[in-house]
Amino acid sequence: MLICLLMISCNLFGQESEYQYFALTYTIGSNWDTTLTVSEQPYFKEHSAHLKKLKDDGKIAVGARYGDNGLIILKVKDESEARTLLEEDVSVRNKTFEASILPFNVFYFGCLEKE
C-alpha cells in the first residue's frame, strides 16, 4: 500500500519517470496451427522463455490473457526499446503470434495483487 501511495505522489508532483509503459498485444498469427494446443505451437517455448527473461529483467509490469489474446505491459525507457524487445520474440518473427505496441499512458495508479 505504501509503495502505491509513493507512486501516486511521485506522479502527482510531476517528477519525471525513468521509464514509460507500452502495451504489447498478442493475437494468433498466420502460422498458428489450429490442430495443436497452445503449448504445442511452433516457437511457443521460446516465446515463454523470452517473456520470462523480460519479467526477470523487470521489463514486464503486468501480463495477462483475455480470451484468445495476450497483453503485456512493458516498463521500458522508450518506444525504441519496446520495439526491440518485441522483435526479439522468435514467435512473432515466425508468425505464430502477431503483436502490436501502443503507448500505455497510466492516468490512475493502483496495485494489482496476486490472490
What pLDDT, on a 0 to 100 scale, did the predictor assign at position 115? 55
Structural domains present in the chain: 19-103 (3.30.70.1060)
Residue 90 has pLDDT above 60, yes or no: yes
What pLDDT, on a 0 to 100 scale, did the predictor assign at position 12? 44
What value does the mean pLDDT take over residues 80-90?
A: 96
Q: String of b and e for 48-83 (b: at least 16 CB within 10 Å)?
A: eebbeebeeeebbbeeeeeeeebebbbbbeeeeebe
pTM of the model: 0.78
pLDDT in tens, 29-44: 999 999 999 999 999 9
What value does the mean pLDDT take over residues 77-93?
A: 96
